[in-house]
């Protein structure tokens, strides 16, 4: 009997229109039970510690809720979301968040790519070079921010350097024009290592033969980079950009330590506003609504960046 015939024999007859489909209880085989049991702990972990808080957060966004209240959340429908539409502080925080991502993402990816290309060449001390660049990534963001806070302070390293050059010291974190660039510079430095390592892995996955063939055909360094390296890096570049958008749009710790959201709210991101709303003003409902609007923006921009870099088919 052919495969086609075997399949035909196994296909059950379609039930007559209007007839009730016979309900059959199917039992799992012992091996399948074992599979379920193996999956269950991890699934429970994901559900209890990740899915439930998200679902609960979504539910809270339709309520008015102070954790101090004895009455529990009070259902207010979409009022929290409507309130955000006309909320100047939230609108400004969204703009600041976008500005922060734009200030950090392009230079981080560009410099990390340059460093990855450098680190992809064999030379003496390459291991140390790669490790040194990766170190900022393994240090806690809070610790890094505290160190940079000292470096930006009036008597800190940067002002000492400026004074040494005969230039006037700057109030890096106290001026509206310089606070965000100062935070962004720290974040670029912090993010370089991880981005570089990912891009380096991407570079090393590009077949050498392509470069050799291109060289044989007379392609110069720029054309090899443009037509082999960049297309070859596309998958990992997509990942790097998407992850950077997700992390940067949730920026909080570095801003909390370096600027406290100021001066003049110039570094108050949406996540900072959420923290204030939830933990300073005890408004968990509106804070949750902000979180889900932010989630929507992050998801949309991540999707657009993936589409833009990886292309529609990917």
Phi, psi of 304 (to 5 degrees): -65, -40
Between 53 and 296, whose beta carbon lies closer to other proteins? 53
Q: Rounded to whole angstroms, how far apart are CA atoms 165 and 158?
A: 11
Between 67 and 220, whose beta carbon lies closer to other proteins? 67
Phi-psi region of 264 (alpha: psi -120 to 50; beta: other; left: phi over 0): left
Between 36 and 299, whose beta carbon lies closer to other proteins? 36
Q: Shortest distance, CB of residue 59 to other proteins, whole angstroms?
A: 7
Q: Shortest distance, CB of residue 61 to other proteins, whole angstroms?
A: 13
- Which DSSP string corresponds to 164-224? HTTPPP--TTTSHHHHHHHHHHHHHHHHHHHHHHHHHHHHHTS-HHHHHHHHHTT--HHHH
Between 167 and 213, whose beta carbon lies closer to other proteins? 167
Residue 197 has, within 13 A of its CA and on its CB side, a CA count of: 15
Angle between helices 284-310 and 52-60 (to 10 degrees): 120
Q: Shortest distance, CB of residue 139 to other proteins, whole angstroms?
A: 20
Residue 202, both tokens: 């991407």
Nearest-CA neighbor of 302 among 235, 247, 225?
A: 247
Between 26 and 124, whose beta carbon lies closer to other proteins? 26
Q: Shortest distance, CB of residue 278 to other proteins, whole angstroms?
A: 8
Q: Shortest distance, CB of residue 32 to other proteins, whole angstroms?
A: 6
What is Dmax (Cα atoms) for the chain?
92
Q: Shortest distance, CB of residue 92 to other proteins, whole angstroms?
A: 11
Q: Shortest distance, CB of residue 281 to other proteins, whole angstroms?
A: 5
Angle between helices 176-204 and 126-138 (to 10 degrees): 130
Q: Rounded to whole angstroms, how far apart are CA atoms 141 and 144?
A: 5
Between 176 and 212, whose beta carbon lies closer to other proteins? 176
Between 167 and 304, whose beta carbon lies closer to other proteins? 167
- Nearest 5°: the CA angle 6, 8, 14 is 145
Binding site for other proteins (CB under 8 A): 24, 26-29, 32, 35-36, 39-40, 43-44, 47-48, 51-52, 55-56, 59-60, 66-73, 153-155, 168, 171, 174, 176, 260, 262-265, 276, 279-282
């Amino acid at each position: 009997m052919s495969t086609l015939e075997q399949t035909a024999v196994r296909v059950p007859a379609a039930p007559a229109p209007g007839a009730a489909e016979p309900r059959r209880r199917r039992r799992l085989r012992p091996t399948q039970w074992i599979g379920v049991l193996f999956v269950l702990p991890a699934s429970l972990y994901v559900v209890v510690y990740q899915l439930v808080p998200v679902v609960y957060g979504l539910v809270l966004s339709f309520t008015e809720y102070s954790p101090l209240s004895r009455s529990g959340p009070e259902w207010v429908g979409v009022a929290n979301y409507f309130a955000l539409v006309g909320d100047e502080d939230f609108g400004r925080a969204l703009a600041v968040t976008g500005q922060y991502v734009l200030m950090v993402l392009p230079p981080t990816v560009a410099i990390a790519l340059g460093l990855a290309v450098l680190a992809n060449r064999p030379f003496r001390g390459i291991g140390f070079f790669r490790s040194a660049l990766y170190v900022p990534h393994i240090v806690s963001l809070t610790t890094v921010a505290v160190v940079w806070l000292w470096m930006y302070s009036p008597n800190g390293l940067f002002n000492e350097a400026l004074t040494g050059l005969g230039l006037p010291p700057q109030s890096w974190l106290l001026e509206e024009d310089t606070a965000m660039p100062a935070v962004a510079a720290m974040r670029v430095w912090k993010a370089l290592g991880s981005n570089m390592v990912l891009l380096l892995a991407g570079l090393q996955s590009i077949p050498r033969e392509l470069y050799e063939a291109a060289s044989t055909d007379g392609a110069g360094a720029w054309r090899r980079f443009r037509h082999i390296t960049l297309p070859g890096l596309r998958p990992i570049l997509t990942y790097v950009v998407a992850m950077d958008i997700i992390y940067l749009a949730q920026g909080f710790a570095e801003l909390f330590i370096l600027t406290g959201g100021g001066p003049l709210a110039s570094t108050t991101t949406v996540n900072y506003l959420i923290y204030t709303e939830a933990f300073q003003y005890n408004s968990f409902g509106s804070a949750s609504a902000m979180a889900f609007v932010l989630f929507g923006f992050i998801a949309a921009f991540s999707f657009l960046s993936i589409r833009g870099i990886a292309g529609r088919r990917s």
